[in-house]
A and B are shown apart, each in its own frame.
Chain A
Amino acid sequence: DQQVKQNSPSLSVQEGRISILNCDYTNSMFDYFLWYKKYPAEGPTFLISISSIKDKNEDGRFTVFLNKSAKHLSLHIVPSQPGDSAVYFCAASAINSGNTPLVFGKGTRLSVIA
């Protein structure tokens, strides 16, 4: 069973507009969440993370929102740029339970159209 779900395999957005990538999780033990960006032939690159004690974390154009009651998080990219086109993975871990390996979603392919 998929503990971290990214239900949209792909997303297309106009340059300059907002990109919203969604992620749902089922394991209530997860307390730390990360977003990674992946280009072809490269490893995942860390983008932004959020601890379960927060509901928002912002870093430049990237903001992650966490809704614990809904077990849902989202990544907002504003404004979107063509260089943002990549596969975005949502990942989760249960650090406070000593379980640090990441559990990944299947990824969402973002295409930013100029």
Chain B
Amino acid sequence: AAGVIQSPRHLIKEKRETATLKCYPIPRHDTVYWYQQGPGQDPQFLISFYEKMQSDKGSIPDRFSAQQFSDYHSELNMSSLELGDSALYFCASRHRGGVGKNIQYFGAGTRLSVL
């Protein structure tokens, strides 16, 4: 079965650079979530989209922005990168009208390292 696809898997950037992370949800899933997991930490919710509109906003810095496109894929844009942005970034998708209520399915993540 198709899963959530994230690219790239690894990304190395320098301070003050920009980065773009991509997420392709499971087909027919209409909601996408972004989470950030720092070293030894639990995943923290950043932002979500439902039917291409921002749905919820969590602890996303102002330097970050995201959007969901007409094909339902989503991109997380990160600017003025800081050392503290080094983390695993997970995307999850969900079918809002699905039987499985709020089961979110996660991608393998993008490991961002800011040097």
Please list the residues of chain A having a beta carbon within 8 angstroms of any beta carbon in chain B.
4, 32, 34, 36, 41-46, 49, 51, 89, 93, 95, 99-107
Contacts and interface: CB of A to CB of B under 8 A. Distances in A.
Interface residues of B, number: 27
B94 interface: yes
Interface of B: 4, 6, 31, 33, 35, 41-45, 48, 55-56, 58, 90, 92, 94, 100-109
B11 to A, nearest CB: 15
A52 B39 CA distance: 31
A100 B4 CA distance: 18
A88 to B, nearest CB: 12
A101 B107 contact: no
B41 A43 contact: no
B42 A104 contact: yes
Given A43-B4, A43-B109, A45-B106, A32 B42 contact: no
A32 B4 CA distance: 22
Contacts, number: 63
A105 B105 CA distance: 17
Contacts of A44: 43, 90, 106
Contacts of B90: 43-44
Contact of B101 (A42, A49, A104, A105): A49
A100 B48 contact: yes
Given A100-B48, A104-B43, A42 B33 contact: no
Contacts of B92: 43, 102
A94 to B, nearest CB: 9
Nearest to B107: A43
Which of A89, A95, A101, A102 has the largest number of chain B CB atoms within 10 A? A101
A105 B100 CA distance: 21
A43 B102 contact: no
Given A43-B90, A43-B108, A100-B94, A105 B42 contact: yes
A99 B45 contact: no
Nearest to B108: A43
